[in-house]
Amino acid sequence: MPILDIGEVAQRSGVPASTLRYYEEIGLIGSLGRRGLRRQFDADVLLRLSLIGLSKAAGFSLVEIAGMFGQNGQPDLPRAQFHAKADELQRQIVDLSALRDMLRHIADCPAPTHLECPTFRGLLKSASQGTLVTHPSLGEAGRGLKPARRR
Amino acid sequence: MPILDIGEVAQRSGVPASTLRYYEEIGLIGSLGRRGLRRQFDADVLLRLSLIGLSKAAGFSLVEIAGMFGQNGQPDLPRAQFHAKADELQRQIVDLSALRDMLRHIADCPAPTHLECPTFRGLLKSASQGTLVTHPSLGEAGRGLKPARRR
DNA sequence: CTACAAGTTCAAGTCAACTTGAGGTCAAGC
DNA sequence: GCTTGACCTCAAGTTGACTTGAACTTGTAG
Q: With beta carbons less than 8 A apart as the criterion, state whether B114 and A96 touch.
A: no
Which range has the top average pLDDT, A4-13, A69-78, A139-148? A4-13
Rg of chain B (C-alpha set): 21
- The pLDDT value recorded for residue A57 is 94
B115 CB less than 7 Å from any atom of strand D: no
Of residues A47, A57, A82, nearest to B148 (C-beta)? A57
Tell whether the model's pLDDT for residue A72 goes beyond 80: no
Residue B22 contacts residue B110 (beta carbons within 8 Å): no
Type and span of the H or E element at B9? helix B6-13
The reported pLDDT for the residue numbered A146 is 55
pLDDT of residue B141: 52
Residues of A in contact with B110 (CB under 8 A): none
Instruction: Assign A75 to helix, strand or coil.
Output: coil
Average pLDDT of span A137-141? 43
Question: What is the reported pLDDT for B76?
Answer: 82
* Residue A65 contacts residue B149 (beta carbons within 8 Å): no
Question: What does each C-alpha distance from A58 to A119, A148, A149, B94 come to in angstroms?
Answer: 27, 7, 9, 11
For position B148, what pLDDT does the model report?
Answer: 57
Q: What confidence tens digit (pLDDT) does each residue in B11-60 have?
A: 999 999 999 999 999 999 999 999 999 999 999 999 999 999 999 999 99
Residues B137-146 have pLDDT tens digits of 334 454 445 5
d(CA A57, CA A146): 11
Rounded distance between C-alpha atoms, residue B68 and residue A107, angstroms: 11
Euclidean distance between CA atoms B130 and B87, whole angstroms: 16
Amino acid letter for position B124? L
The pLDDT assigned to A136 comes to 38
Q: What rounded mean pLDDT belongs to chain A?
A: 84
Instruction: List bases, strand C, within 7 Å of protein CB.
Output: 6-9, 15-20, 24-27
User: Are the C-beta atoms of B86 and B50 separated by less than 8 Å?
Assistant: no
Partner-chain contact B142 A56, CB within 8 Å: yes
Strand order in the sheet with A38-42: A3-5, A38-42, A33-35
**Closest in B59, B138, B141 to A150, CB measured:** B59
- Select, from the ranges A134-148, B10-24, B111-125, the one with the highest average predicted confidence (pLDDT): B10-24
